[in-house]
Amino acid sequence: MAQTITTIKPKEPATQADHRRYSFFRMALVVMLKDLRAELRTKEAINGSFGFAVVILLLFSFAFDPDVDTNKALSGGLLWLVFAFAGTLILNRSFARELPNDCLDALIAAPVSGAALFLGKALANYVLLLAVELVSLPVFGIFYNVHWTHQLSALLLVLALGTWALTVIGTVFSALTVNIKLREVMLPMLTYPILAPALMAAMQLTMPLIAGNAIAPEMMRWLKLLIGFDVMYTAISLFLVETVLVG
């Protein structure tokens, strides 16, 4: 009677690669949810950021007459300045909240890759920044007498791309300056010069959208610049964050 021999095939590399990718994104999701729960428990950064955004919008509204069409168009650029200033309050807390009780050292020593840790924190910051910006938009419309909903889908696209650029740069420099005593000062000084191309592109795209006009074909180069900035600096940050955290 012939005996059947069953051979066990080893796992294919594709299956192992899929498992590694699943573990990477699962760890990033865990870090993101941890940060969101920690922030929603205290609401320190998000309340401070929203309050700061409202105050700056109010002060700018006194400097610009909202009934002048030129000022309405320029208000789109002012909006991104407000988002950049207010966003640093959230980004500065990204790694600083891990300092008490040596939680940051525990995170670095945990079996979590630096890229997954960075991506999780960046996603948490992204959600918080978007929340502040979306709540600030109605306030912006009231103060500046702007009907910003005419090109809503395009405006949300630019908002999402510009916010991700701010988040990626701010999160990686938050990790770099976490152990510096003057990190509240150093973070904006390091972030804004590198963020300048993305802010310029977001401003150029937002100004016509706020005025109710669609993005013209000649403005598409700014959209390509914004997308390229996001892709390039996301890849660079994921590659270098291990060196930034461990040294």
Residue 10: inside a domain: no
Residue 8: inside a domain: no
Residue 158: inside a domain: yes
Residues 95-114: b if buried by 16+ CB within 10 A, e if exposed = bbbbeeeeebeebeeeebbb
Per-residue pLDDT at 240 exceeds 50: yes
| pTM to 2 decimal places | 0.86
Residue 9: inside a domain: no
Query: Which phi and psi (to 5°) does residue 143 adopt?
Result: -65, -35
Burial of 217 (0-12, 13-18, 19+ CB in 10 A): exposed
Per-residue pLDDT at 154 exceeds 60: yes
Per-residue pLDDT at 130 exceeds 90: yes
Token reading at 225: 């610049």
pLDDT tens per residue, range 24-57: 888 889 989 988 998 888 888 888 899 999 998 8
Return the pLDDT at 141.
86
Residue with tokens 């080893």: 10
Mean pLDDT of the chain: 83
Return the pLDDT at 19.
61
Mean pLDDT along residues 77-101: 85
Return the pLDDT at 4.
45
Query: Which phi and psi (to 5°) does residue 192 adopt?
Result: -65, -40
Return the pLDDT at 228.
96
Residue 7: inside a domain: no
Residue with the larger pLDDT of the pair 73 and 11: 73
CA 229 distance to own-chain centroid: 13
Residue 1: inside a domain: no
Residue with tokens 């990686």: 172
Cβ(245)–Cβ(178) below 8 Å? no
pLDDT tens per residue, range 174-208: 888 887 777 778 888 889 999 999 999 999 999 88
Residue 228: inside a domain: yes
Residue 171: inside a domain: yes
Give the residue numbers spanning the domain of 151: 23-246
**Count of structural domains within the chain:** 1
The percent of residues above 70 in pLDDT, for the chain, comes to 88
pLDDT band with cut points at 50, 70 and 90 for residue 66: low
Give the separation between CA 92 and CA 94, rounded to whole angstroms. Answer: 6
